[in-house]
Amino acid sequence: MSASAAADIVVIARRDLSRNLRQRNQWLGAVARPAVWLLILGAGLGTGRSADFISGYSYRQFTFPGIVVMGILFSGIMSGASIVWDREFGFLKEIRIAPVARTSILVGKLLAGTLLSLLQGIAAFLFFPFIGIGMTPLKIFLSLLCMAITGTLATSIGILLAGFVKTIEGFGNVNNLLAMPLFALSGAVYPLSGAPEWLKRVAYFDPFTYAVNLMRNAVLDVGAYPIADIAGLLLLTFMFLAAAYLRLDL
Amino acid sequence: MIALAGLGHSFGTTKVLDGITFSVRPGEIFGLLGPNGAGKSTLINILITMLRRKEGSVLVDGFDPDEDPDLVRARLGVIFQDSTLDERLTLRENLRFHSMLFGMSRTDTDLRVGESLADVGLTDRADEPVMRLSGGQKRRLEIARAVIHRPKLLVIDEPTTGLDSRARKEIWDRIKALNRDHGATVFLTTHYLEEAEVCDRIAILDRGRIVATGSPDEVRASGGYDRVRIKTRRFAEVGAAAEMMFGARVAPTDAADSIELFVADGSALIAGLYARFGASISVTEFRKPTLDDAFIALTGNLPDDPDSGAALHMRNLVRERRLV
C-alpha cells in the first residue's frame, strides 16, 4: 500500500469519525442500551432457570459478553447507512470524483465503521465492575481483539448492504430484518446449549454466534482459544468486503 | 481540452447519445445547452469518469476517462447540479477533505483553504457546519472547493439552477473570474439561455445529437428567423409577395390589419417590400432571432427558462385557455 493510499484512507475514515462523534445522542444510546439489558432485563430474566448457564456465573455475567457484541453488531451494520446517507445527500459523488483508489474508500469506510463500533463495544464493556466480573490485562486485551474482529465483520456486512439498500428508510428495515435476528440467534442472551434443535441449526449459520462465543471465552475465562472460529470470521469478513467492492458504486 | 469524436451511449436499447463530435479549446467557456432528457447529464458523467461510454472516443486534456480515470479526475474540478457538501462538517472541514483527497500537502491545504474562504467571503463562517449556510453561500463554497486543487478544467452542471437572480449573477461573476484569472477552461450545461450568451462557444444537444455548435451569435443565426411585423391593409398581396420573393413564412396576427413574416434575412425583405408597396405598408416590429428562437427552431422545444419570452408566452396561452 502506497503512502498516498494510506493518507486517503485516513482522510476518508477521519471524516466519518468526526461527523459521527459529534452526535451527542449517539453516546447516550451507546451507554443506555447496555444499561437497559444488563441492569433491567438482566435482573428480570436472571430469575429464571439457570441450569444451562456457564457454571459459576450469574445470568447477567453470562449475558455480558453478548451485550458487548450487541453494541458492536448494531453499530457496525448501521455504518452502511452512512454510505446510503452519503449517496442520498450527494457527498458520495464528491468522493467518487477524487483521484482516489476505490479500495482506499472501502478500507477508509471499514476503518471508521470498525472504530465506531469498537467504541460502542467499549461503552458496554465498561459496565464490567457493576456486574462483578474481574478483569486482568490479558482478558482486556483478548476482549478488545474479539471486539475488533466482530467490528470489522459487522461493518463489512453493513458496507455490503449499502450496495443493495438504496434509501435511508430501507436501511431502517435492515435493523429489524437482519441485525435483530442476527443478534437474537447468536446466543448472546440465552444459552444455545439449551435451545431447541432447529434453533441450534439456524444459529450455526449466524457468524455472530461465533463472535459471542469468542467474547465469552475472553471475558469469562473459559480457557479455550477457538483459532478456527477466528480464521472463519476473518475469512467471512474478507468475502463480504470483496463482494462490496464488486457491488458498491464507490 | 476536451475532444469528443463519435461519442455514443445507450441505456438498454435506448440510445441517449449518438455520434457526438465537438471539442472544447483550452481557456474557453463552453456551454452545452439542451432540453431535459437531451443527454446532457450522461455526457457529463462520461467526461468526469462516472460512466463508461459505449462508443467513440473521449479525451480530456489528452487522457481517456475510461483508461486513466485518476489522471482525468486530478485535472477536473466538478460542480454538480445538487449540493455535494457534507452538511454536518464545517466549511473548513469540507475544503480540507477535498484538498487532501486531491493530494495536496498539508501546508498547501491550510494555505489555500484560508485563501478560498476569503475569496468567496465566507471566512467568518469557516468553523460553522455547512447546514447553516444559505443556498447561494453553499453554491459559492462548492465553487471554491471545486477549484481549490487548481483544476485545468472546470465542469459545471447547471451552475445556477434554483438560485435567485442576485445569487445567479454572483456565481457567474465568479465563473468568469476563475476563467480569466486562473485560465481554467470551463465546460458547463445550462438551460438558462441568457446565460449561454456569456459562453465563448456553445453546443446544442437534442435527443442525443448535437444540432448546432459555434459562438452564441453563430448559433443564433443558424437556427432562428428574423421576425418582421407589418401593418398594411393590403396584407394578402404583401404576404404573397414576401412568400414568392423572399421565401418568407406568413403568419396572421391578432390585429386584423397586421401580418407577421418569418424570414432568414429580414432587412432584405423590408427593403424589397418598401420598394414594391411604398407607403401602403409600415414595419411595426423587426426582431432578430434570439437564442430562444434558435433553440426552439433547432430542438422543437421551449427552453426551460422561466424568464424567457417563449416560455412566458406559452404559459400565458395556457392560462388563457384555462380561463375560457
Q: How do residues A83-113 score in pLDDT, each as one tens digit?
A: 999 998 899 999 999 999 999 999 999 999 9
User: Does B315 reside within a domain?
Assistant: yes
Assess whether B90 and B225 both reside in one domain. no
Assess whether B250 and B186 both reside in one domain. no
Find residues 213-242 of chain B whose CB sits inside 8 Å of chain A. none
User: Does B324 reside within a domain?
Assistant: no
The pLDDT-based confidence of A122 (bands split at 50, 70, 90) is very high
Assess whether B19 and B117 both reside in one domain. yes
Question: pLDDT value at position A130?
Answer: 86
Place of cell 455475567: A61
Assess whether B161 and B290 both reside in one domain. no
Question: pLDDT value at position A1?
Answer: 58
Tell whether B70 lies on the interface with A, counting CB pairs under 8 A: yes
Average pLDDT over residues A59-67: 89
Given B197, B220, B243, the domain boundary residue is: B220
Assess whether B271 and B296 both reside in one domain. yes
Given B185, B220, B255, the domain boundary residue is: B220
Q: What is the CATH number of the domain that holds B121?
A: 3.40.50.300
The pLDDT-based confidence of B309 (bands split at 50, 70, 90) is very low
The pLDDT-based confidence of A192 (bands split at 50, 70, 90) is confident
Find residues 98-157 of chain A whose CB sits inside 8 Å of chain B. 98-101
User: Min CA distance, B93 vs chain A (Å)?
Assistant: 8
Strand partners, B31: B188, B202
Given B186, B220, B254, the domain boundary residue is: B220
Q: What is the CATH number of the domain that holds B276?
A: 3.30.70.100
Assess whether B271 and B241 both reside in one domain. yes
What is the rounded CA–CA span in Å between residue A93 and residue A59? Answer: 48
B74 → chain A, closest CA residue: A99
Question: pLDDT value at position A162?
Answer: 93
Q: How do residues A140-178 score in pLDDT, each as one tens digit?
A: 999 999 999 999 999 999 999 999 998 888 888 888 899
Please report the ipTM that was assigned to this predicted complex.
Answer: 0.85
Residues in chain B: 324
What is the rounded CA–CA span in Å between residue B100 and residue B103? Answer: 5
Residue pair B290/B309 in contact (Cβ under 8 Å)? The answer is yes
Residue pair A69/A217 in contact (Cβ under 8 Å)? The answer is no
Assess whether B241 and B309 both reside in one domain. yes
Residue type, A222: V
Tell whether A97 lies on the interface with B, counting CB pairs under 8 A: yes
Assess whether B54 and B16 both reside in one domain. yes
Choice between A129 and B165, residue whose per-residue pLDDT is larger: A129
Residue A137 pLDDT exceeds 50: yes
Buried b / exposed e over A222-238, threshold 16 CB at 10 Å, is eeeeeeebbeebeebbe
Element (H, E) at A239: helix A227-247
Give me the residue from A7, A22, A101 closest to B100, CB to CB. A7
Residue B306 pLDDT exceeds 50: no
Question: pLDDT value at position B203?
Answer: 93
- pTM for the whole thing? 0.82
Assess whether B169 and B272 both reside in one domain. no
Q: How do residues B247-269 score in pLDDT, each as one tens digit?
A: 888 877 777 788 888 888 888 88
The CA dihedral of B158, B160, B163, B164, to the nearest 10 degrees, is -140
Residue A44 pLDDT exceeds 80: no
Q: Give the count of domains, chain B.
A: 2
Q: What is the mean pLDDT of chain A?
A: 88
Q: How do residues B112-137 score in pLDDT, each as one tens digit?
A: 999 999 988 999 999 999 999 998 89
User: Min CA distance, A34 vs chain B (Å)?
Assistant: 28
Assess whether B72 and B126 both reside in one domain. yes
Question: pLDDT value at position B308?
Answer: 46
The CA dihedral of A19, A24, A25, A28, to the nearest 10 degrees, is 130
What is the rounded CA–CA span in Å between residue A161 and residue A20? Answer: 19
Assess whether B150 and B271 both reside in one domain. no
Helix/strand/coil percent split, chain B, to 5: 45, 25, 30
Residue B294 pLDDT exceeds 80: no
What are the backbone angles phi and psi of residue A179, rounded to the nearest 5°? -65, -45
Do A99 and B103 lie within an 8 Å CB cutoff?
A: yes
Residue A48 pLDDT exceeds 80: no
User: Min CA distance, B51 vs chain A (Å)?
Assistant: 11
User: Does B114 reside within a domain?
Assistant: yes
Which residues form the domain of B225? 221-319
Q: What is the mean pLDDT of chain B?
A: 85
